[in-house]
Amino acid sequence: MPAQFAAKRLGKELQKISNSLPPGIELVSANNLEEWLLDIQVLDNNPLYQNEKYRLKFRFGSSYPIEPPEVIFVKVPDRPIPMHPHIYSNGIICLDLLGTGWSPVQNVESVCMSLQSMLTGNTKDERPPGDEEFVRANRLRPKDIEFYYHDNDV
Amino acid sequence: MDTDDEFMSNVSSEDDMLPDDSDNDLSGDEDFGFDDEPDHYIIDSQKDGAEKRKAAYDISFKVYQPADVQKQQNDLIDEVNMILDISKEEAAILLRHFRWNKERLIEDYMDRPGKVLDAAGLSRSSAGPPKMQVIPDFMCDICCEDEPGLESFALKCGHRYCVHCYRHYLAQKIRGEGEAARIQCPSEGCNLIIDARSLDILVTPDLTERYHELLHRTYVEDKETLKWCPAPDCQNAIECAVKKKDLDKVVPTVTCLCGHRFCFGCILNDHQPAPCELVKRWLKKCADDSETANWISANTKECPKCNSTIEKNGGCNHMTCRKCKHEFCWMCMGLWSEHGTSWYNCNRYEEKSGTDARDAQARSRISLERYLHYYNRYANHEQSARLDKDIYHKTEKKMVQLQKESGMSWIEVQYLNSASQALQTCRQTLMWTYAFAFYLARNNLTEIFEDNQKDLEMAVEALSEMFERPITELADPKLKVEIMDKTSYCNKRRVILLDDTAQNLAEGMRTRISFWSVRMANK
């Protein structure tokens, strides 16, 4: 259950994104302050992601926004998991923004936009190395996985 | 540390039998004070000088209690504060930024103060001391709160958030992530470090203690020459000047005031005489394959052609390797083609192909058995060392009992305590001699090593046997003398073994004699 602190902020965020969202981002459902679903799509003509929408699931802990939300892609009819070298086939995303690179100033909208641009900028039609093994063996929640953000590391 | 190399060359040229001139002024060892004295020949300051000469395995170190650690930090901060004419808070942040390397800090600051301040997150601006402010029309980017009168705070970078969010953020960092000295501005991508003064006004009282404790810890964690005593509940820190690159020739065992003995190099329990690298390798090896190896050795053979491990679970002696299709006889390991139709009896033991195959198999078996030989002895002493904990408690009871039954005084039964102590330390040493021996190349020196090992082991087992005798016998004055003699003999043997090994280690490194040239085959 989100603490009052988180609830207030989420309430404000919801109010804002219900009114307007940047192009390519749609709010699917936000029936409570724990789990929201949003769809994103790329805006340019990157052939990898043409005519596809992808569903994102946000889960907020009681320490949101001090701690990052858990964000994964979910697979439902018409909503596949996008091909990307940082996205595992079970929807788990390896992005420093959602882990060590999180700042409380980030929000649902900014996360969606970052993911949008992460897809737009990608040219590789592939999964992360070791995807099969990871998907089979992983029992951890995304926040407990120690990702090695090699692309962003200095 | 620019004196390293000079220091190294001195080690090699010194003789090992320097007389004890008891001038071990440890305070001078801190950084550069010991250029003229090889560190591992300095007698251990924690011992009472009973030993007349400097043992080669002894290493100088110093134990600091929490108050000492605090004082050291304060002294350094005061010093930098005076020399550089900056506030104490800034001096503290700079020191932490430079990992408490005062000399480098002062040098760099003198050269380029602006750059140093920027790097440490102390960008200079004319703003006064940090304070909470109420800004009209302010909306906090974290909680989206915008009610009038909302108190907010910003560092010199100008990223302003409400005090409530700031505190939430700090609580998460301090309590949740254990950070203190390097907490950055909450804004994305802003690397400005929140300085101590700002933290003092922001950190809520329930966190102050934890915050200061964490700050206090970074001092020890940042300094290479300092380490925490790993014993549970122990708050002491230990200073030891051993260099990382010297860990292959010294085993820096230190003893905390709490009694815990551990290796300063790797924080594991005392593992003299084996160097850290071997210990690491050995532990890894044991974790990998000791039990598996046991089983394999007892139950399987390898295919003579492709070395696949095969377990025979029934049937005749005609084996066909699943992997390489090699056909051989399980009994003699020779080619099956030489066997004809004798499926259950093999009488061809002397055939050439069979001998060759058995030789190859024997070689791989020998390497396993060699490992198991050392492992079993290592494990045996490890277990005994664990049982020693019980023995120690038993000893205490025994001593009380003995006092009652024989009318001996407290001081008269202390010999049992010393015997128990000796057993524990000697077993610990013995245990590691086996891991060590596994990696030793065979030559004259290893024979001396094994003789020393054997002497110590025999003495320890003898003492252990005496120690286990029933109370009635223990009261016998003759046995008491024997135990006391054996105790001191054990301790002496241990010192001899460690001393000898430490000398050879140091010397072997110098002259490149392969005393412990690691047998790479035994990884």
Domain CATH number, residue B163: 3.30.40
Q: Which residues have C-beta within 8 Å of that of residue B290, sequence separation ≥ 6?
A: B371, B372, B375, B379
Q: What percentage of chain B exceeds 90 in pLDDT?
A: 14
Tell me the C-alpha distance between A40 and B70, whole Å: 54
Count of domains for chain B: 3
CATH number at residue B436: 1.20.120.1750
- Alpha carbon B55 to chain centroid, angstroms: 21
pLDDT at B27: 40
Nearest chain B residue to A104 by CA distance is B142
Tell me: do B93 and B71 sit in the same domain: yes
Q: Is B187 in contact with A12 (Cβ distance < 8 A)?
A: no
Count interface pairs A-B at CB distance under 8 A: 41
Whether A105 and B186 lie within 8 Å, measured CB to CB: yes
Task: Single out the residue of A64, A68, A55 nearest to residue A27, CA to CA.
Answer: A55
Sign of the CA dihedral running B118, B120, B124, B130? positive
Q: Which of the residue ranges B33-42, B61-70, B325-334 has the most confident prediction, judged by mean pLDDT?
A: B61-70
Contact B490, B422 (CB under 8 A): yes
Q: Cβ–Cβ contacts within 10 Å for residue A131, how many?
A: 16
- ipTM here: 0.73
> Does the residue B245 lie in any domain?
no
Residue B154, domain member (yes or no)? yes
Report the residue from A9, A101, A103 with minimal CB separation from B143. A9
pLDDT at B343: 63
Domain finish residue from B145, B173, B203: B203
| pLDDT band at residue B52 using 50, 70 and 90 as cut-offs | very low
B367 or B480, higher pLDDT:
B480
Taking CA–CA distances from A66, the nearest residue in chain B reads: B169
Q: Are residues B422 and B489 both part of a single domain? A: yes
pLDDT for B4: 41
Residue A55 reports pLDDT greater than 90: yes
Looking at residue A81, what is its pLDDT? 94
| pLDDT at residue B36 greater than cutoff 50 | no
**Residues B138, B114: one domain?**
no
Q: Which residue has the higher pLDDT, A15 or B396?
A: A15
Specify whether B195 is located in the same domain as B289: no
The angle subtended at Cα B175 by Cα B171 and Cα B180, nearest 5°, is 85
Region B405-416: what's the mean pLDDT?
A: 81
Instruction: Identify whether residues B88 and B146 lie together within a single domain.
Output: no
My answer on whether B348 and B487 are in the same domain is yes
What tens digit of pLDDT does each residue of B99-143 get?
Answer: 888 999 999 999 998 888 877 767 665 555 677 888 888 888 888
Cα→Cα distances B118→A59, B36, B224, Å = 37, 39, 25
More confident call, B426 vs B4: B426
B144·A9 Cβ contact <8 A: yes
Active site residue B316: yes
Choice among A17, A81, A94, A108 that is catalytic: A94
Residue of A146, A141, A131 lying closest to A100 (CA atoms): A146
Residue A147 is predicted with a pLDDT of 65
Q: Calculate how close chain A gets to B471, using CA atoms only, in Å.
A: 56
pLDDT tens-digit map of B474-520: 778 888 899 999 999 999 999 999 988 888 887 765 443 344 444 43
Q: Are residues B193 and B303 in the same domain?
A: no
Task: Tell me which of B141, B161, B163 to substitute to probe the interface with A (most A C-beta atoms closer than 10 Å).
Answer: B141
The confidence score (pLDDT) of residue B476 equals 82
Residue B405 CB contacts under 8 Å (≥ 6 apart), including other chains = B471, B472, B475
**Chain B contact present for A12, CB below 8 A:** yes
Pair (B281, B404) in one structural domain: yes
Residue from B143, B306, B316, B324 carrying the catalytic annotation? B316
Structural domain of B91: 67-119
B304-321 pLDDT, tens per residue?
888 787 887 766 778 888
Confirm whether B271 is domain-assigned. no
B353, pLDDT greater than 90: no
* Chain B residues within an 8 Å CB radius of A104: 142, 161, 165, 169, 186
For residue B102, how many other CB atoms are within 10 A of its CB? 17
pLDDT at B75: 93
Q: At CA A91, angle to CA A86 and CA A94, rounded to 5?
A: 30
Q: Which of A5, A13, A103 sits opposite B187 (nearest CB)?
A: A103
- Last residue within a domain, chosen from B119, B145, B179: B119
pLDDT of residue B7: 40
Q: What is the pLDDT of residues B311-347, one digit of tens each?
A: 877 667 788 888 888 888 887 778 888 776 666 666 6
Asked whether residue B90 falls in the same domain as residue B138, the answer is no
Residue with tokens 């919801």: A14
pLDDT of residue A25: 94
Cβ atoms of residues A34 and A61 within 8 Å: no
How does DSSP assign A25-37, residue by residue? EEEEE-SSSSEEE
Residues of chain A with Cβ-Cβ distance to B161 below 8 Å are 104
According to the model, what pLDDT value does residue B135 have? 86
| pLDDT score for A129 | 83
Beta carbons of B186 and A5 less than 8 Å apart: no
Residue B402 lies in a domain: yes
Same domain? For B365 and B461 the reply is yes
Nearest by CB to A65, which of B142, B164, B176?
A: B142
pTM as predicted: 0.58
